[in-house]
Amino acid sequence: MEKVCPNYEGCRLVRTAVVEPDDTKREAYIEAYCLREETWRKCKRYTTRKALWICPDFVLPDSDISEDEILDRSEQGEP
């Protein structure tokens, strides 16, 4: 198993302030989800990307939203 999330290099949460503008929160997400072998598989951004081949910016690692809801919101043009 990889120690760092396989989506780490391309994830907009990691690479931009668009997904989470608060630096402290973004760093906490990265530490809790992206860099821990036992938790990146539970990250909603990882599971969404794996299932849908996309991950909209409104999806956070701890989002409690279904894939269907993500698709609906994404189709409605939600940023």
Per-residue model confidence (pLDDT) at position 1: 55
With residue 67 as reference, give the H or E element that holds it. Answer: helix 67-75
What span, in angstroms and rounded, lies between the C-alpha atoms of 3 and 15?
Answer: 18
What span, in angstroms and rounded, lies between the C-alpha atoms of 28 and 34?
Answer: 10
Q: What are phi and psi of 78, to 5 degrees?
A: -70, 130
What span, in angstroms and rounded, lies between the C-alpha atoms of 2 and 69?
Answer: 29
Q: What is the pLDDT of residues 36-73, one digit of tens each?
A: 888 999 999 999 999 999 999 999 999 999 999 999 99
DSSP state of 31: I
What's the pTM? 0.90
Per-residue model confidence (pLDDT) at position 37: 83
Per-residue model confidence (pLDDT) at position 38: 87
Per-residue model confidence (pLDDT) at position 24: 97
Q: What is the pLDDT of residues 22-37, one digit of tens each?
A: 999 999 999 999 998 8
